[in-house]
Structure 1
Amino acid sequence: MTETIAYFTEDDSVAAVTTRVGDGTDPRLARVMNALVAHLHAFIKDVELTQAEWALAIEFLTNTGQMCDGNRQEFILLSDVLGVSMLVDAINNRRPDRATENTVLGPFHVDGVPEYPMGANISKDGIGESCLFEGRVVDLSGAPIPGARVDVWSDNADGFYDVQQPDVQPPHNNRGVFVTGTDGRYWFEGIKPVSYPIPDDGPVGQMLGHLGRHPFRPAHMHFIVSAPGHETVITHTFVRGDDYLRSDAVFGVKKTLIADYAATPDGPTIWKSTFDFVMTPEATQ
């Protein structure tokens, strides 16, 4: 380690910190930390952060950590509402224009959900406006992908996921896994999802209030679509016409993910939503 800055000054604050990084440090860690220090110091100098504001920031981060437990991760919520989660996802999931875009996973995915025969109803309580979800899983050329695993979940008619209401909703309510056949088609029955607020009873919710922002997410159905030899797609389909499409609290909406929900007065369900998933080949080393 070569130390070129002996003392900390306002002008040389970044160099004073970054030159302390040891020569044997992992190169990626050194790059990330040096960039973090540079941007953080630039931000503090730009806004001329006061000591009172710095103390408030420390208190906010402390309260955010204290809000976390086995069922809630307030720091992920903070990342979500600042657009960081979506930016990291976008950088790590760049795809051709024709391919289905990713969006955030969200905190309510559950492993071990039962696999159902195609066409099954995932609404265990039967509450809500029934909806048929259908479409195809295809590759970039439009050829069907057989054996694609389609993992789906949504909120209930009151805007809550089953894991949020274990004493109210039956287990795996509005969840299911389906596997496509040779035609690449999927179809299942559920309910038309509704918009709902993210948890706003903690420091992140208070921050949104101070910023004049609402905590709502537009109505959406979650999908994880996976198939051998293809990149896994983690995404939502959003209900066209929802009031919060342009102001999603976690910035998860992309134009290509907005789906039509057509009324079907003569059908077995009240609504029908058709959406095709276009998958890209898995990257090879």
Structure 2
Amino acid sequence: MNTAIMIIVVLVGIGAFFGVVLALADKKFAMEVNPLIQEVEEVLPKGQCGACGFAGCAKYAEAVVEQEDVPPDLCVPGKAAVAAKVAELTGKKAGASVPRYAHLKCRGTRTAAVMAARYEGVPDCAAAKLVQGGPKGCKYGCIGFGNCVRACPFGALSMGEDGLPVVDKSICTGCGKCVSTCPQALLVLQTFDAPVQVECSSHDKGPAARKLCKNACIGCGLCMRSCTHGAIRLDRFVAVVDTEKCRDCEEPVCLAKCPTKAISQMIGVRAAEKTA
């Protein structure tokens, strides 16, 4: 009994000793944190998206305060408002930012796309792709298990009833987290002033693409030849819009010419920009 008590006393004593040693060491070697770093971090949106190029908001706050060459406008989700606040706190100059949102370049819905197989594995796009490129016949289309939805730190994406992710442009910050998550590379960051976009990414030849998805671009080139601004080209059997050349036509001819309606007008985008 006495032996057990002695062991307990010794262990408590050792614990207390090391506790005091650690407390003294912490006090002696503690590093002073620049209070400005905390002020900058507080104005950041806390999405931890990494769009700034740093591992989270805290790291960016530290870098923009302590490193002269780190600009104050790297926070993509914060847009111009946050950039202005960070610039004011750090005494740096913020550049002009162009608002963007995530756009899905696929319309392979449940009713439009042909299913080639039944997938019963882990409900994950990357995992499904490992099994013969996914369950859809079109191996370029959205697999539909919502990796992008789960990756969005701002809740701007949701899965639609048709099996494709839906982007809420009024919430989307353009951080690009979903873009890097999609194993099919179907999500792109789109500027709010782009009038039209091709909503297909299939590189199959026309007949094969149409057979696998009735909404597919068949690479016929009618849109390209009808565009008076030279904003459309063909890249491996799929049309691509150059947003730098594309103009806001009153009645885009490319939309009327497309036989599968694979080109869509970005309706409501400008209204979303005003609320962003």
TM-score, normalising length from structure 2?
Answer: 0.24
| Between structures 1 and 2, the one with greater strand share | 1
More helix by share: 2
* Larger RCO, structures 1/2 (Cα 8 Å, 6+ apart): 1
